[in-house]
Chain A
Amino acid sequence: MAMLEVKDLQVYYGLIQAIKGVSFEVNQGEVIALIGANGAGKTTILHTITGLIQPKAGSVIFEGKDITKVPGHKIVSMGMAHVPEGRRVFANLSVYQNLKMGAYIQKDKKVIGETLEMIYKHFPRLEERKNQLAGTLSGGEQQMLAMGRALMSTPKMILMDEPSMGLSPLLVKEVFSIIEYCHESGITILLVEQNAKMALGIADRAYVLETGNITMSGNAAEMLENEDVKKAYLGV
């Protein structure tokens, strides 16, 4: 059984249909890449999964449970975290407060402390800047913070929306090494990227989204070699 199953999802903004019947699945422990051009509907899909928007039709099933109608704020406590597009850290709160916010659903103080320690170990820069306002961090640091904040909920699965957007190549590498680390520690990952090369490099399988439809899917390594994908998304 798949960990996350999206079935025939249709999402509208007013009268405009952004997602036109999308189905895919993510198995436990996998890294799945969802790639597609700007405006294809990647963010819309992630927002629908974590309940920020409601679909018109279709369903989202997480660990066998239909979460399509579950209110958005209840989803993180089921074990699914979401690193949103554009980081969306709480700009006027400190780095530490942002991380604490990530553990909002966690009641056990001991677990919070341990997770925080683990995050500071992997993101030493966040510890150095723990009392700084998040809004004053650089883009790369904000991305680290957004990922650290998601990890604070000790999720089973993380959705990541273009974590490399707007970052220098060096920082992109750093972000991907963190994704690698999440993967190694057993977290299932759904990675949305425009940086198709990096995403396909790290993923097990991938789906290609074009204007609200999935047009291709398969093994990520094979897709890297696919002529159509190369032409459209790898710029070769």
Chain B
Amino acid sequence: MSFITYVISGISLGSVYAIIALGYSMVYGIAKMLNFAHGDVIMVGGFVVYSLTSSMGMPPIVAVVCSMIFCTILGVAIERIAYRPLRNAASSLAVLITAIGISYFLQNIALIIYGSSPKIFSSVITIPPLKLADGALTISGETVVTIAACIVIMVGLTLFINKTKAGQAMLAVSEDRGAASLMGINVNGTIALTFAIGSALAAVAGVLLCSAYPSLSPYTGAMPGIKAFVAAVFGGIGSIPGALIGGILLGLIEALSKAYISFQLSDAIVFAALIVVLLVRPTGILGRQIQEKV
């Protein structure tokens, strides 16, 4: 049974990576930039819930919704203030460096407000664990909710992109901004919407992550952020199903190598697997093989 337990915990962790990877992937696909501050938005989402529930006694579900709203506004503000002015800059490095700067900025703000010692995050998930196979296999409520949230988000986002006008605008902007503008699509608005969705998802990921691993510090978002970025590249950056597959695979590799190989080496194994995948398929598992226009 322990193998199945590891697989389930891998899928659960992978679901969180997948939700974060989606934000990376959408922003990369549509705004053509790597938003390295994305991981830190997760941390902000966690702290908003922490503050609202433990200091102000708000019901968890209300706190989660508030956190999503807060992160949405934060994401849009970051895009508007820090990234948009650089959109037509000669070097794409400028915006990358800005993103790293925003990442440290968010961490430092959190340090000032909350200090560096980790806070105990009490899980917002109250549903009871699922007992299977006559109690031999227990799946925690957090795991159930995490996997369910991941499925709902993937299906919802796929429908959104394929069925709504805003989703179609995202597809057009991701291919050719100028041509999209000629179609009447508001390119800046579409990019802002992408940041809004990505950041709201980051808030959800933050809550799920902190509920599963109940410790929260200003650096909580950094490592999951990098791993989710790896997951996005793994699956094929810019692709929604790619983020899902990349995230789940990453979670599985991490959980299984922690269980069977070495706890300390698990991150190295994850990155080694990424290198192998990229050697075989340079654009990731589901990445487009068509050469992108420069």
Contacts and interface: CB of A to CB of B under 8 A. Distances in A.
A42 interface: no
Contacts of B181: 50-52, 72-73
Given A73-B187, A92-B290, A100-B168, A50 B175 contact: no
Contacts of B182: 50, 52, 72, 76, 81-82, 84
Given A84-B178, A88-B179, A135-B290, A76 B172 contact: no
Given A76-B183, A77-B184, A104-B184, A90 B178 contact: no
A79 to B, nearest CB: 11
A76 B178 CA distance: 13
Given A84-B179, A88-B179, A105 B171 contact: no
A81 B175 CA distance: 19
Task: Tell me if B's interface is mostly helix, strand, loop or mixed.
Answer: helix
A192 B180 CA distance: 21
Given A88-B178, A90-B176, A91-B175, A73 B185 contact: yes
B184 A93 contact: no
A52 B171 contact: no
Interface residues of B, number: 20
Centre residue among B165, B180, B183 by max chain A CB count within 10 A? B183
Interface string A143-181: 000000100010000000000000000000000000000
Interface residues of A, number: 28
Interface string A57-95: 000000000000001111011000110100011111100
A208 to B, nearest CB: 26
Nearest to B175: A90
B290 A104 contact: no
Given A76-B182, A88-B178, A91-B175, A104 B187 contact: no
Contacts of A73: 180-181, 183-187
Contacts, number: 66
Nearest to A102: B183
Given A84-B178, A101-B168, A92 B288 contact: yes
A104 B168 contact: yes
B169 interface: yes
Interface in B266-294: 288, 290, 293
B290 A101 contact: no
A211 to B, nearest CB: 24
Contacts of A51: 181
A72 B168 CA distance: 18
A91 B165 CA distance: 19
Nearest to A133: B290
28 contacts: A50-B182, A51-B181, A72-B181, A73-B180, A73-B183, A73-B185, A74-B184, A76-B182, A76-B183, A77-B184, A84-B182, A90-B171, A90-B172, A90-B176, A90-B179, A91-B175, A91-B293, A92-B288, A93-B172, A100-B168, A101-B168, A104-B165, A104-B169, A104-B172, A104-B183, A105-B184, A153-B183, A153-B184
Interface of B: 165, 168-169, 171-172, 175-176, 178-187, 288, 290, 293
